[in-house]
Chain A
Amino acid sequence: MIPFSFYILLIIACLVAYLLNKQSFPSYFINFLYLFIAVIVFELTALALQSIDVNHNFLDHLYQPVEVTLLSVVYYHVIPYRSFKKMMFFIIPLFWMFCLYASVFAEGITEPNTISFIAGSIIIIFYSMVYLVQLFTEPPTKDNLLAIPFFWINTGHLFFYFGTFFQMGMDTYIRSIDFALAEKLVVINYALNFTLYLLYLNGFLCRKVFKL
């Protein structure tokens, strides 16, 4: 319960940090606000359902496409490559269709959403890598890299999605042979979630910490 409370508090801290420094961020950062609200709503609903012993896996099936869509919109604005932007018009609808198929036909809405999570992770990792390539090819010459909010956010994405890739990828298999172990390994997910939101928080505060 303590890690969960800390996790929620961290998301609320990110939300507050975003709102306090809203003026210094581009307008499309509003998607992070929507994302934080969505996370809080989904997580608290899941907690409520869990407390009355109702299966809440369907929430993850719903959340995954929402998260990927919101992050896609942000990357759409951050990455200037035209071909990348064009690609996004296909990626998002395809991902929604894929999620629908995976959730309804492949996994089942009451089972953990491993397939859609892995697919979503691949997409976000792809975006993050493109952003890294952009930073390598056109490194910012005016700003300190540590003072660029999106650098921190992107680093958070890389750590989280790369990190959970293995655990989530094997989750279904582990659950099938040792359910208790699968539940224990969720701690990796928690640790990486903390890392992700701490990096988000840093991203929203970095302009004040590492002055331009």
Chain B
Amino acid sequence: MLFDKIALEADEKIITTVRKHWFVIGMEIGIIIVFGLLPVFILLGFLALPPTSLLADAFELRFPYIMFGVAAWLLLSTIAATTAWTHYYLDLWVITDRRIIVIDQVHFFNRKVSNFRLERLQDIKVSVTGIIPTLLNFGTVRAQTASAAESNFTSTGLPAPRELQALIQTAMDARLATLGGMPVMAD
């Protein structure tokens, strides 16, 4: 399990975990399903042909080959859909009361895990661009830390980005107040 691997500090509490918006995975899997079912529709088209046509005869003669091809295509489509789901499911932001853990599952064998301490966080920018992201409320979150520029992090397709920004800001203020590094602004 993931939290066995990510060692949380003593008394460190997980505030929330965030995955990409459902629309992101919905679109990916939707496109795979359309392409996956394409030969099935072509097959149904052939089955609708009149039984006396030349094409129907050829189809009948080659039926095992066609069935094998369609099944193999569907199998590869299923593998593609499962891969998309795995990348979606394992891509994760874990926000604790002390840090943000960003897990980026790029490919099966390319996984990046970054830790950013809340007290080192300098700025969080949110951008929601486009009609669908605006309607469905998802967008890009960019966070800048006090460290080198390489440690800045960006995630696209995160749901409710403004709420996430507010949540991180609140956690950051609370953390700074705990550390005594900066006074918390009164509401």
Is B one of A's binding partners?
A: no
A residues contacting B by CB (< 8 A) are none
B residues contacting A by CB (< 8 A) are none
